[in-house]
DNA sequence: TACCCGTGGCC
DNA sequence: TGGCCAAGGGT
């Protein structure tokens, strides 16, 4: 039981017989894989679902077919295209990484070389080395942690269990087809060895799984208790002229760093006053949940007589709400809804 | 080590 | 409905 060669053979056999989870990844045996596309998709997939990534990946590869194209892109356009995907430090690191790779001429082809690049950590460096360069590196993401914890019935809670899980995964990693093996482990975790209600009945590794034998597969991996999420409150100001809207580019680092946004305060450490001069009217509340806190953001709007000292006016004709992060899209949607309603009321009164 | 850092879907 | 979860990295 749990012979690495047996597990490798069963897993790769299963992988070869089934559809791949990532629709854009070439099937095994279809020639070399473009490191640029592997890198881009792996960075987008960090803590992000395949369904959410798909359209962004297609859009990025269409706009920028090579890492050299991406390296030449303007920061603001990359940030705008990333808007909505979350974890915006990834986008900032993406730009820096593309430029570093372009300066080097090509992607490094070892895990160590890849690890030195911005936004490429233990997981992503191993994934690119294994998938794009056929190196026998051990790829450990959340799926692999779960599969290995169950296979060996590891009851230690994460994140303390991580080193042990990595060591066990390393023992399973084959010298041949390491990239396919990594993707097979992740696909197994995504489709069969799922967090809740794992489909053990159709699992190719059911005979090798210690947790299954003990009847505790759905309970693993155990996790350390989470901290409660505090509720924060803040204000956001959406100012208009006849043909423009007031926006700003947020600070380079921190929450929603370097994204396009409406001026706001009270929730992100900043305590700036509302843009002035303006007669701000309260429109309502937008709720949003971040990783470590929830937010109630009060939305204000005002007609501006001239450009305030904070932010910049951009023409409404060219304004793209899609270039905003999700929180700011919610505020914009509320403003549109409420101002439309107010306009209707005015129209009714005037009849 | 323990935080910080988004968003959408699912049950 | 609210907590959980997702191909993590930076500090």
**At a CB cut-off of 8 Å and minimum separation 6, what does A5 contact?**
A174
Q: Are residues A304 and A342 in the same domain?
A: yes
Q: Are residues A250 and A215 in the same domain?
A: no
Is the CB of A138 within 7 Å of strand C?
Answer: no
User: Average pLDDT, stretch A221-244?
Assistant: 95
User: Average pLDDT, stretch A120-142?
Assistant: 98
Is the CB of A227 within 7 Å of strand C?
Answer: no
Q: Are residues A199 and A250 in the same domain?
A: no
User: Average pLDDT, stretch A91-107?
Assistant: 98
User: Average pLDDT, stretch A219-240?
Assistant: 95
Q: Is A187 helix (H, G, I), strand (E, B) or coil?
A: helix
Point out the nucleotide closest to A255 (alpha carbon to C1′): B5
Domain membership of residue A103 (yes or no) is yes
Say how far A266 CA is from B10 C1', in Å.
32
Q: Domain ends where: A172, A194, A219?
A: A219
Q: Domain ends where: A185, A219, A253?
A: A219
Is the CB of A350 within 7 Å of strand B?
Answer: no
Q: Are residues A90 and A124 in the same domain?
A: yes
Answer yes or no: are the C-beta atoms of A186 and A141 closer than 8 Å: yes
pLDDT score recorded for residue A348? 39
Is the CB of A266 within 7 Å of strand C?
Answer: no
Query: Strand C: which positions are within 7 A of a protein CB?
Result: 3-10
Q: What pLDDT, in 10s, does the model give residues A3-33? A: 999 999 999 999 999 989 999 998 887 877 9
Say how far A225 CA is from B2 C1', in Å.
13
What is the residue-averaged pLDDT of chain A?
94
User: Average pLDDT, stretch A202-214?
Assistant: 97
pLDDT score recorded for residue A349? 44
Q: Is A139 exposed, middle or buried (0-12, 13-18, 19+ CB in 10 A)?
A: buried
Q: Are residues A186 and A279 in the same domain?
A: no
Domain membership of residue A225 (yes or no) is no
Is the CB of A287 within 7 Å of strand C?
Answer: no
Q: Are residues A199 and A273 in the same domain?
A: no
pLDDT score recorded for residue A100? 98
Count up the domains in chain A and report the number: 2
pLDDT score recorded for residue A180? 96
Between the alpha carbon of residue A81 and those of residues A127, A268, A339, the distances in Å are: 24, 23, 27
Query: Strand B: which positions are within 7 A of a protein CB?
Result: 1, 3-9, 11
Answer yes or no: are the C-beta atoms of A168 and A160 closer than 8 Å: no
Return phi, psi of residue A282, to 5°. Answer: -75, 130
Domain membership of residue A158 (yes or no) is yes
Residue A1 binned pLDDT confidence (cut-offs 50, 70, 90): low
- Whether A155 is a known active-site residue: answer no
pLDDT score of A126 more than 70? yes
% of chain A with per-residue pLDDT over 90:
91
Point out the nucleotide closest to A89 (alpha carbon to C1′): B5
Domain that holds residue A299: 231-350
Say how far A171 CA is from C2 C1', in Å.
39
Here the CATH number for the domain that contains residue A268 is 3.90.79.10
Residue A342 binned pLDDT confidence (cut-offs 50, 70, 90): low
pLDDT score recorded for residue A341? 61
H or E element in which residue A234 lies: strand A231-240
Here the CATH number for the domain that contains residue A67 is 1.10.340.30
pLDDT score recorded for residue A347? 42
pLDDT score of A280 more than 60? yes
**For B9, which residue's CA is nearest its C1'?**
A49
């Amino acid at each position: 039981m749990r012979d690495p060669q047996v597990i490798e053979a069963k897993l790769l056999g299963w992988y070869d017989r089934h559809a791949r989870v990532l629709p854009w990844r070439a099937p095994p045996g279809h020639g070399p894989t473009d490191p640029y596309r592997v890198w881009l998709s792996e960075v987008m997939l960090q803590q992000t679902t395949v369904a959410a990534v798909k359209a962004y990946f297609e859009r990025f590869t269409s706009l920028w077919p090579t890492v050299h194209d991406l390296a030449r892109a303007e920061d603001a356009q990359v940030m705008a295209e990333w808007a909505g995907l979350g974890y915006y430090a990834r986008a900032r690191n993406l730009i820096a990484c593309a430029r570093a790779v372009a300066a080097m001429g090509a992607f490094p082809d070892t895990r160590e070389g890849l690890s030195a690049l911005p936004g490429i950590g233990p997981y992503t460096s191993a994934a690119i080395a294994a998938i794009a360069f056929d190196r026998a590196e051990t790829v450990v993401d959340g799926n692999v942690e779960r599969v290995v914890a169950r296979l060996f019935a590891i009851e230690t809670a994460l994140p303390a269990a991580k080193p042990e899980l990595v060591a066990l995964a390393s023992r399973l990693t084959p010298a041949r087809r390491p990239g396919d093996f990594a993707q097979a482990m992740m696909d197994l975790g995504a489709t069969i060895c799922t967090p809740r209600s794992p489909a053990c009945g159709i699992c190719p590794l059911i005979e090798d799984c210690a947790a299954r034998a003990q009847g505790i597969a759905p309970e693993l991996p155990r996790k350390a208790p989470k901290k409660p999420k505090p509720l924060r409150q803040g204000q956001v100001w959406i100012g208009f002229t006849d043909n423009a809207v007031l926006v700003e580019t947020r600070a380079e680092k921190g929450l929603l760093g370097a994204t396009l946004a409406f001026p706001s305060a009270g929730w992100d450490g900043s305590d700036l006053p509302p843009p002035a001069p303006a007669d701000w009217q309260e429109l309502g509340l937008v709720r949003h949940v971040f990783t470590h806190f929830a937010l109630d953001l009060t939305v204000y709007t005002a007609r501006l007589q001239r450009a305030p000292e904070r932010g910049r006016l951009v023409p409404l004709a060219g304004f793209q709400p899609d270039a905003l992060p999700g929180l700011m899209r919610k505020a914009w949607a509320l403003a549109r809804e409420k101002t439309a309603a107010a306009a209707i009321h005015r129209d009714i009164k005037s009849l």
